[in-house]
Amino acid sequence: QVQLQESGPGLVKPSETLSLLCTVSGYSIRSAYYWGWIRQSPGKGLEWIGTIYHSGTTYHNPSLQSRVTISVDTSKNQFSLKLSSVTAADTAVYYCARALQNIFDYWGQGTLVTVSS
């Protein structure tokens, strides 16, 4: 059974970098799927952040592109998200998910990240 689990700090200071890790189990990240990050906040609803393939090819939401780095570590079956220069507007529940043609069929449980000093 495919499972995804987000991990990382729940509190980040303004202007710093948010870093999250997604650990995948029950499925090899090298196989024929993409892996994505989506966030959900009360103000903006669900927002696609970006997607990565095991080869390292990435796609980002242009609204966040300059601040987002998504990478993959196939040896650990993990992929990660870094979002720089965060503000209170980046406070949200962050989800990692498996994607085929940008359809998200398996999701992690989500992790709340609060941006505050």
Partner 1 sequence: DIVLTQSPGTLSSSPGERATLPCRASQSVSNNYLAWYQQKPGQAPRLLIYGASSRATGIPHRFSGSGSGTDFTLTIDRLEPEDFAVYYCQQYGSSPITFGQGTRLEIK
Which residues contact partner 1 by CB under 8 A?
A: 45-48, 59, 61-63, 95, 97, 101-105, 107-110
Shortest distance (Å) from residue 115 CB to partner 1 = 21
3-state secondary structure of 90: helix
Beta strands 111-115 and 11-12 are parallel
Which of 62/75 has CB closer to partner 1? 62
Shortest distance (Å) from residue 105 CB to partner 1 = 5
Retrieve residue 35's tokens.
């892996």
Shortest distance (Å) from residue 60 CB to partner 1 = 8
Residues 54 and 15: their CA atoms lie apart, in Å, by 30
